[in-house]
Each structure stands twice: as C-alpha cells, then as structure tokens.
Amino acid sequence: MADAAAESGVTAVQPLTGGKLILAAILIGMGNFLVVLDTTIANVSIPHIAGSLGVSVSEATWVITSYAVAEAITVPLTGWLSRRFGGQRVFITSYLLFGILSLLCGLSSTLGMLIGARVLLGLAGGTIIPLSMTLLLRIFPPEKASVAMIIWAMTTTVAPIAGPILGGTISDNVGWEWIFFINVPVAMAGGIGLLYLFRGQIEEIVKARIDVIGLILMIIWVGALQIMLDEGRNHDWFAANEIRALAIIAAIGFVAFLIWELTERHPIVNLRVFRHRGFVAASLTYSVAFGAFFATVVLIPLWLQQNMGYTATWAGYATGIMGILAVLSSPVIGQFAEKMDARLIVSVGILGLGLISVWRMGFTPDMTFAQMAWPMLATGPFLMMFFIPVTGLCMATVDPDEQADAAGISNFMRTVGGAFAASLVQTGWGGAARENQTELAGAMSQGQATLDAMTAQGMSHGSATAMLTGMVESQSTMLATLNMFAAIAICFAFAAAIIWFAPKPKGPIDMSGGH
C-alpha cells in the first residue's frame, strides 16, 4: 500500500475526529479566507498607500497587480508541489510564510519594498487556496465531505466581499499598514496549530525532477496575461504598444506551454485532468459563473461611489450583506448536494444569480439603500447553490491522486475568469457611459431651452450648464450600469448551460474523491 501511495502521490493522511477535526477545519478554512481576503482588501486602500509612500495612485495599483500575478502563477503548481513535498508540508509552510510576509508588507517604507513583499506574499498564498480544499476533504471522513466543501465555499465567497469593508474601515481609522498586520497573528497561530494537529501524519512523496522549462513558460504567459488584464484599462488596451506586446507574449507563451506540458514525461502542471469530461464542464462553469459574479462585486461598489454618493465603507457594507444568507443557507444546500443531481443544483443557482442581475436592471438613481440591498441579500443562497456543488464536481470527477491537480487548475481558471471579468466590466462600463452620454446629449433637442429656463430662475449660465451636464453624466452612468447587468445576466445563462455537458453523476457526487 505504501508503495502504491508513493507511486500515485496519494498521502497517508487519516481523517481526524472530534475536537481536533473541528479545530483543524477552522484553521485550514481561515488560511483560505486570509489569502482570498488579500485579493480585495488593498483595493480601497490604494489612495492611503500612495499618499503615505509619496507615489501616484496609478503607481500604487501595482500593489494589487503584483499580488494577483504571483498568486496566479503559483495556484496551478499546487499539484506538483503537493506530490513533491507533501500537501500538508506545503500548506503549513505557506501558511507561516504568509504571516511573516504580511508583516514585511506592513513594515514597507517604499513602494518597491511593498511590491516585492506582495509578490512573495502572492507566491506563498497561491498554494493555500487549492490545498485548503484538498486538505479539508482529507481530514473529514468521506460521509462528511459536503461539510468540507461548505467550509471551503463559504471562506472563498465571503472573503472577497469582506475585503473592501475591512480595507476601507482599517485604512480610514487605523492605517493602511494594518490591513497586512492583521494577517500576522492569525497566520502564525494557524500554521503552528496545524503543525501540532498533523504531527505524526506521514505523507508519501514522489521525488520527481523539476520541469524547469514548463515552469519558465508558465511564469511568462501567466504573468503577461495577468499584467495585461490589470493594466489594459489604464492604457486604452490595444491602443498601447505595451499591452499589444503583453498579449503577444501571453499567446505565444500559452501555446508553447501547452505543447511542452502535453509532451513532457513529468509536467509541472498535470493537464491530463482535462481528459475527464466532467472536470472540463465543471471547471468551465466555475470560471464563467465566478467571473460574472466577480464582475458584479466589482461593478456595484464603483457605481454606488461614483453615481450614488456612497462612501467606500458604505459601498462595502452594501456588497457585504450578501454573505448573511450565504452563511445561513450553506448547511441546507450541502444536505441537498448529498441527495440530488449536482448539475441541477448548480444550474438553478446560476440561473438564480442571472435573474437577480435582471432584477438589478430596474435600478434607478433615486433608489434607497433597502431597495438596492434586497437583491444583494437574495444573492447569498443562489451563490452557495452554485459554489458548493460545482467545486465538489471538479474534485469528484477526477481520480483520487489527481485531486491536488484538479484543485489547482480549477482555481487557476476561476482566478483568470475573475481577472478577465474585472477588466472587461470596468472597460465596458466606462465605454458604455461615454456612448450613452453622447446619445443623450444628441437627443436633447430642448437643451438650450432648459438652460434658458434655469438662468431665468436666477442661476448663472455656468452653474446651469454644470448642473445639466451633471444630470446627463449621471443618467449615462446609470444606463451603462444597467447595460452591464444585462451582459452579466447573459454570462450567467451561458454558465448554467455549460454544466449540463458534464456526465450525469451516478447518484449524489462523491466529494471525498472516492471511486
């Protein structure tokens, strides 16, 4: 048995019981929460960071980009790292490093130092996201696998929502350094706690050589793609030479990476998991639907701040309330996932998210917080109906020894889907606003008469013009927001159809990975 485990890379980890199981689940879930939280917590803190370090806001955005690029590179490497060094060892090492590097981020006195620390932080955190999923499945007995997926799904979905709330509150009231300092005690306690709980657990490892060329090719194309997506909207996309160059590098690098990895005997990323039709359908659904969801999370705070007069903190609160019903509904949805066709649950959940986007197409500039909050609150259960079973399908449709690979690749696809969505929705929103403004201005046949009426009431010509221009801009932005909600609804409908390309599970999905 040990020899077989060594050959396949399967670990000898045994399910935990009682208090140890609960504590280990909390610590693993908290590690995933911290890493995902750090993808959004710095977003609203950029002005504070720029002012403190004496740089422009544009330069400071590299604090976000550097972390995203490094994390995107490490996530798909998780399977190889897990086989080579052991999943527990990699996870605990990354966990402790995340705490140490977060301290370094907070202590940074220059932008270069902070960006360097954020790159290292992303490299450490990238393995935590997929390994948290596989370790949760390993420590829970097979009959409790749905509980493991619920914990992972909740931490993955709630963290990016909580990020802007915590980031805005901490930066406004304490200081931007503390968005990193808060990670330190949690990460250190989590890593040390798991080191104690997992003592005596033996993991079989495979001493495979490092696929250096595959690693280099992946760093090149993933890095170029992520930087292109993050910086494209700031440089008018393909009108800029640097964005065109990045696109070419990403495309050539991706093709070369595919050819190399599919012909290499010991690839650094196991692309053979794509031979499973269920994995392909589930991971594509995961990527498209998460991208549509993430586009919503990006768009709504921007709209609330730029068009509705919300502060960053209140925009965060408005978005964060979706987590309430998400947490409360998770146990019930997990029970249904154990008894029903997972494809049906995923499809209904995604269609529900699409219908909420259609609901948002009725938003108006004078709507109240409560009117905006209801669809956000209703998002939670549908989000869990999508998230819990689809991650289970990704894991359950591959062989047991391929779970770490499946987790890494599916989460990489989710990360890329979110990056594409964030860039496209912001670019599309700005472009639609400009087009709508031009159309509205051209359609105002009574514009001069309106200005004359306003000046006749005592307003100066400049004030009247400014007020009328502001009204047109507000309406054009509102219409652009509704246009984006329509596009997001279409993406959800597309994702709800993709999942049906997965073969029908023979009964409820076995999320423990057993076959």
Topology classification of domain 1-209: Growth Hormone; Chain: A; (1.20.1250)
pTM: 0.80
Report the interhelical angle of 18-37 vs 87-107 (nearest 10°): 50
In this predicted structure, the answer to whether residue 463 has a pLDDT above a threshold of 90 is: no
Distance CA 396, CA 509 (A): 7
The answer to whether the CB of 55 falls within 8 A of the CB of 104 is no
pLDDT at 100: 96
Indicate the CATH number of 271-515 among 3.40.50.300, 3.40.50.2300, 3.40.5.90, 1.20.1250.20. 1.20.1250.20
User: Exposed, middle or buried: residue 210 (CB in 10 Å: 0-12, 13-18, 19+)?
Assistant: exposed
Query: pLDDT by residue (tens digit) across 146-205?
Result: 788 788 888 887 888 788 788 878 888 888 899 999 999 999 999 999 999 888 777 777
In this predicted structure, the answer to whether residue 339 has a pLDDT above a threshold of 90 is: no
Distance CA 37, CA 161 (A): 8
259 contacts: CB under 8 Å, gap ≥ 6:
none
Query: pLDDT by residue (tens digit) across 349-381?
Result: 999 999 999 999 988 888 888 888 899 889 989
Distance CA 408, CA 73 (A): 10
DSSP string, 18-41: HHHHHHHHHHHHHHHHHHHHTTTT
Q: What are the residue boundaries of the structural domains of the chain, listed by start?
A: 1-209, 211-267, 271-515
Alpha helices in 109-211 (DSSP H): 111-126, 128-139, 145-173, 178-181, 183-197
Alpha helices in 240-321 (DSSP H): 241-263, 277-307, 312-320
| Percentage of the chain lying above the pLDDT 70 cut | 87
Averaged pLDDT for residues 205-210: 72
Which tokens belong to 96?
A: 């402790």
> Which of 147, 130, 156, 188 minimizes the C-alpha distance to 39?
156
**394 CB-side CA count, 13 A:** 31
